[in-house]
Chain A
Amino acid sequence: MNNKPRIGVYVCHCGINIAKTVEIDPVTEYASQLPNVKVARNYSYMCSDPGQLLIREDIEKEGLNRIVVASCSPRMHELTFRKTLAEAGLNPYFLEMANIREQCSWVHEDVEEATAKARKLVASSVAKARLLEPLEEKEVDVEPATLVIGGGIAGIQAALDIANAGFKVYMVEKTPSVGGTMAQLDKTFPTLDCSACILTPKMVDVASHPNIELMTYSQVEEITGYVGNFEVKVRKKARYIDMEKCTGCGICAEECRLKNRIPSEFDVGVGKRSAVYLPFPQAVPAKYTVDPERCLFLTRGKCGESPKCADACPSQAFDFEQADEMVEFKVGAVIVATGFDVFDASRKPEYGYADYDNVLTALEMERLVSASGPTGGKIVLGKGDEAYTPKDIAFIKCVGSRDESVGNEYCSRGCCMYTAKLAHLVHEKIPDANVRIYYMDVRAFGKGFEEFYDRVRREGVRYIRGNPSEIFKRGDKLVIKVEDTLTAKALEDEVDLVVLAVGLEPRKDVREIIDLLRLSQSGDRFFLEAHPKLAPVDTATDGVYLAGCAQGPKDIPDTVAQAKGAASSALILLSSGKVKVQAQIAIVNEATCRSCGYCVEICPYGAIEMVEANRMGHIVSVARVNEALCKGCGACVAGCFSGSIQQKSFKDAQILPQLAVLGVK
């Protein structure tokens, strides 16, 4: 093949997205004058079928062997145009893109400046395109298994879908049971389905599915490797109970000396548990766990004469010598379904959450109205003789959402509807209750939401538009200070119970996952998806997908839908069985390698090794790149003392000509 570059330059109008600020014709004309450019054209949408056809026809008719597309970001359409080249029989890596939309026409208003910049960007791309080389895309096998991190409804749904399709799933859940936040809810809006009734069958399925290996009370410690071939290390924390022997009878918890003295995580502190516990009655697996931070025997080495729990256990399941267990396995894909944290209401001190017992968060209220909750579903406050049923109940919405003062600009998407649901449940349980909801806006956007909101108002719940400024105590009552912004009246509302509709926040341990998987966060600190619209479950790391509230606040239907999406993405990878590995990798010139081995130290992937080579009869040690392991970062290239390593498609010789164009005024 004649290697003399014959370049085609294609300038895209992108409707008026580019054409509005960049004068297309002069740029095309300028491009046609550049060295080695045989064809320069422009078209309204290069990415459209006719646009791509234009390129394919020119490759055939004009014998083009390099293509420059000046359009949107390569992050948008590089793969599209690589395919175009391949379809015309050209190596897909003979493509260079000039980003004249995101980084030019959209960020500059001045037509003259933008056009001049577009010219430069095109010239820079042509300068590089002349020197592009064909690259080979290698394929590797995909390990037919998936790691699902997080055992809430998102993780459960994704795991079940993948397992039902016939692939192995490893599910790792941090707490002793799967179920997540959904298990804590009483009813679900807008249908008032009992949350446990629809969730527990799925929890049981996860535990009993032959394709799912469930690891609860476990933590992912390390993930190495790359798409199709991740190596995972999981720490199974010691439960101090033999899972095989425990029957879940619960006698140990009855006997525990700390019975009813430790705030239950599941009941968000409203209820109490023992130091050996089952998080909730329907927990899966139904096995007890000793809390190592609370258990007297584990913290002090002594619990009476001997631990009563172990003595009482009919199946001798206790093992206080048990140690954490490390498990290692390989997967092809990873689904991150780590969920969220509830906003800490004490960060809004004006609402008195930390000061008053009758200011609750919505999740605490959820446990209070739940039949499986500590009060058996009765809404009672206070203890013993002082217990009373609140009559005047106020909800305050958007606590920790849409609030720049706590750093959360976003809407948590669920609070409007769960508030309406809780208000309905309060009415159901306390028919003469007087319920009002203080709101900024009501966002009833989903299927059946508006209807439910109307129903709750018909039931007598009053919606008052205003954001309370303060809550304080007066006698037995709580006083809410607020301005009704529809009547412009200042109100002081006396109530028995305030429920704060707290929003959703990224988990406090979000950093652990970022460090494991190199994920990015969006502005709201939730995980960043690969594209907000077209790749909402993918991440920048190939083979890693997002599901549920880890990606952003959402309700149960959306979470399930996204989990199914993530499962589908993982399944595409697993069922194709092959994945293309990075082609733009490092390559060593063994003739000039000085054998120093510095690159071996630099490479974060251990992809470079020193091997023996014959250099004119002498055996010398030279660096060699393992093509399957190299990710193409180029750190070794810039680090090489003798300039013997280059990165394909990002060689010094390919970048310096770009500089020669861009550096000059």
Chain B
Amino acid sequence: MAVKPECIAMLLAGGQGSRLGILTKNIAKPAVPYGGKYRIIDFPLSNCVNSGIYTVGVLTQYQPLELNDYIGNGQPWDLDRANGGVHILSPYQQIKGTEWYKGTANAIYQNINFIERYDPEYVLILSGDHIYKMDYSKMLDFHKEKNADCTIAMLEVPWEEASRFGLMIVNDDGSISEFEEKPKNPRSNKASMGVYIFNWKKLRKYLIEDEAKEGSGNDFGHDVIPAMHSAGERMFAYQFDGYWKDVGTISSLWDANLDLLNPKVDLDLNDDSWRIYSRSPASPPHYVGADAVVENSMITEGCEINGKIDFSVLFANVTVEEGAEVKYSIVMPGTVIKKGAVVQYSIVAENAVIEEGAVVGESPENMEKIEDWGVAVIGNGVKIGKGAKIAPDTMTDSDVGGAE
């Protein structure tokens, strides 16, 4: 029998992230690389550990191989533990048949037995899709102080973007009076971050009820939380201030990476008291050559840089040869950019090869019609031939021959 923790976390990491296109063809969204040496899931996992939550269930479903491999025994996050630690929870066969996780609530429902093993007072529900640093222990304090049944983390978003979010109308005491799901005319700019704390006994009851309900979507935001609200449970909103980004689209992933180069953006990864942990590839320090020019960029271990880098984020073991240029781009691990090639306003996935003289992407200033501009994406292991040109706002998922 496990030692009883006060609070355990359940991290929903089964999402495909379909709007990331070819970047999530073979990996789940939480495994998408971010910020030179991280993957998105490093953020909620590190937040848990830094908040003193050492039991984390990670619910996987879509393309779990890479994610499972990455999390492994949880050692990089100090989650390899005798009591608790990280557990990968995949859908499984049952006597009544086999079921995929039908929705976020159903995923937790199917793992009631896992949670019961620990019998915690509280359960923290997280998603593996966001970049943010948050102290969940403060949110838990708030939850206890309000004697709440459910606390939802919320963030004030710009009014013009509010209609893209699930919104909450909050009373003066912090309790939630109404929910609005992506309304046309928002009456609030307090958006849900998809971070919930529940009293486990209450949640358990609602999960069982929700499962029994015909036609339920088995989703927290659409079904379980509204049901709790209409039953008059104590629902509170916990305000979060700070950087929070959903990296659900190519442009938001690109923005979120380049945010790291902007000193005005409130996301400090150097903070010793709140480190973001990741699995490290054991590469040597990076080398910057005699003719290289590197400005305004982030570069990590194993890179060999002999070209020009500006406003870019380079992941481990990237090679940039002489005369090549990388600007306003994200280059993921193991990619080689050969002599004289140009990679601009692009995201290049892992182990791609950009041959000599190829040009990937385009600067928005050079576009005739700005509507046609967008970030160019090169898929995993794709080879772009000598002198080839890759247009902006495209996704390239297979090799492109050279231009003769």
Q: Do A and B come from one complex?
A: no
